[in-house]
Amino acid sequence: MALDIPAADGLAGKVAIVAGAGARHDGIGNGRAAAILLAAAGARVLCVDRDRALAERTVAMIDEAGGTAVAFEADVTAGVDCEAMVDAALSRWGRLDVLDNNVGIGSRGNVVEEDPVRWRRVMEVNVDSMFHASRAAVPAMREAGGGAIVNVSSISALRPRGLTTYSVSKSAVIGLTRAMAVDHGPEGIRVNCVAPGPVYTPMVSGRGMTPEARERRVRASVLGIEGTGWDIGHAVRFLASDQARYITGQVLVVDGGTTLRGPERST
């Protein structure tokens, strides 16, 4: 008896939105990696970023590799911008199948040290953006017969380490993921979450990390290697693909085993 084994991941011809698809210079951040890998699988990608030039550079990289992508400028903390980006994908390609919610910022300190304005801003960027983007995307996915949403959280949600505001925001992302999975599973929409560990991206390098601090991050991994945006991009691509058709409401930790160690700070 011949086995019915899928030959591909089913992304060819689908339409994806990647929020936070830009990165400084030619660096590979989590969003840029996801956009490039989704396009490499045959998806048509709307590369969304608050800085249009950064999104356009991602599009240029995809074009050079023979993929299909368009840049779109949006502030995903604003509901009207999220509605506009979904409308842009629908106007250009007629459907929406994948949403990668990748936007996020960091913060340090405990509740006494944290500035209330900063607290609100982190929640706005890290959580509200995913609410607004998903709220705009779900009706379009429903119309297409289903889809996949991937939210990017952090291992800080699973292992707090002195980054209280950030940890709380990323915990909320996991809660949002699980609730949406239940709400929209009957509509054929899968919702999953990627929790990156201390991967080295343009955002991290831009903070002026010392070589010593970078080496500590490498040692925090039980594999003794450094993660990159590509590792997160591959996880997003998998969860968006048909290969993950029976996976929803889950948190995929991509950290080289960092969370298997103690809770000491690794940065």
Residue 5, number of CB atoms within 10 A of its CB: 5
Single pTM value for the model: 0.93
134 vs 7, higher pLDDT: 134
pLDDT above 70: percentage of residues in the chain: 94
pLDDT above 90: percentage of residues in the chain: 83
Q: For residue range 76-106, what is the model confidence (pLDDT) as tens digits?
A: 999 999 999 999 999 999 999 999 999 999 9
Place of tokens 């299909």: 68
Find out whether 143 and 189 touch, Cβ atoms under 8 Å. no
Q: The domain 15-197+228-257: what is its CATH number?
A: 3.40.50.720
- The arithmetic mean of pLDDT across residues 174-203, rounded, is 95
**Residue 8 burial (10 A CB sphere; 0-12, 13-18, 19+):** exposed
Closest CA to 219 of 253, 267, 254: 267
Q: For residue range 48-74, what is the model confidence (pLDDT) as tens digits?
A: 999 999 999 999 999 999 999 999 999
**Which pLDDT score is estimated for 266?**
45
**Which pLDDT score is estimated for 267?**
47
Report how far residue 33's alpha carbon sits from residue 29's, in angstroms, rounded to the nearest whole number: 6
Task: Please identify every residue annotated as catalytic.
Answer: 166
Closest CA to 149 of 97, 85, 198: 97
Calculate the CA dihedral of residues 196, 201, 205, 210 and round it to 10 degrees. Answer: 50
Q: For residue range 224-237, what is the model confidence (pLDDT) as tens digits?
A: 999 999 999 999 99
**Which pLDDT score is estimated for 92?**
98
